[in-house]
Amino acid sequence: MTGQIELNWPPACLTPNAKRRKHWSAYRGPSSKYRADCMWLTRAWLTANGGPSLVGKGLTIQSITFYPPDNRRRDDDGMIGAFKAGRDGVADALGVDDHSFRPTYNFGEPVKGGKIVVTIG
């Protein structure tokens, strides 16, 4: 089974460049919220595509595609780092440890509001 989950663009304070300028407590709340949001969106996808029986059944992230919210220059490692909490949220919903994920990363054209599309399989 393969499917795609659309997730929100991560808050700007979660980018590695923003995080290095602040104390960890400044981004802990947004990080926790983003992780929970991604977990709930993934659970909603699971419910619509087979229910809780899929949790812990070896599903993994196959690819992650970033669609930034605007044309500003962004580097790939910054986008990947900003999505760390989101990736953890997806892993939480799938009931797996994300240490074994080896996704491919793709970078699409900007879309209003930005989004991240995660392919699960």
What digits encode the pLDDT tens for the residues 31-61? 899 999 999 999 999 888 876 666 656 788 9
**Residue 21: pLDDT over 70:** no
Answer for the pair 92, 35: CB distance below 8 angstroms, yes or no: yes
pLDDT exceeds 70 at position 121? yes
Per-residue pLDDT tens for 70-111? Answer: 999 888 888 999 999 999 999 999 888 888 889 999 999 999
pLDDT the model gives residue 64: 96
Q: What are the domain boundaries of the chain?
A: 3-120
> Which position has the token pair 């400044």?
26
At the top level of CATH, the class of 3-120 is: alpha beta
Structure confidence at residue 85 (pLDDT): 94
